[in-house]
Structure 1
Amino acid sequence: MLEEKLREAILNELKRQAANQPQVLKVEGSAEELTVNGKIDLADLVMVIAGSVAGGP
């Protein structure tokens, strides 16, 4: 259950970042396999992961 929530949170955050800056980040794939090309805002990603672990939205 936790692994699923983490996987979904990471995927959603990376796709959100890619949608906000498509010229900087490209994300393709699914929760099973992911191809990422570009810069990732690690602060935002860490915040999403921590929120997922803590039971946040």
Structure 2
Amino acid sequence: MADMEAQVAEALRTELERQAEATKTLIVTPTGDRLTVNGIVDLEALAMAAVGAVAGGP
């Protein structure tokens, strides 16, 4: 996986896990390099995580 792709994937994974912990209405199950996601996802927060990864943000 290219470096930028790895950064975006990690940012998305981290954000989904953060949402799962914060809301308890989302279940995220990691399996290797994939995730199973069940529940409601805040797409705006997820998009911001991806943009932040591309822009070099936190």
> Shared fold by TM > 0.5?
yes
More deviation, 31-40/1-10 = 31-40
Q: Aligned pair in 2 of structure 1 residues 10, 42: CA closer, same or farther (>3 Å)?
A: same
Letter in 2 for 1:20: A
Q: 2 CA distance for matches of 1:31 and 1:50?
A: 24
Q: Name which of structure 1's ranges 30-39 and 43-52 shifts more when overlaid on structure 2.
A: 30-39
**1:16 Cα deviation after fit:** 0.0
Alignment length (residue pairs): 56
> CA 1:34–1:19 in structure 2 vs 1: closer, same or farther (change >3 Å)?
same
TM-score by length of 2: 0.90
Q: Hey, what does 1:27 align to over in structure 2?
A: 28
Unmatched segments (≥5 aa) in structure 1: none
The one-letter amino acid of 2:42's match is: D
What is residue 14 of structure 1 aligned with on the other side?
16
Alignment CA distance shift 1:30-1:56 (3 Å):
farther
Unaligned runs of 5+ in 2: none
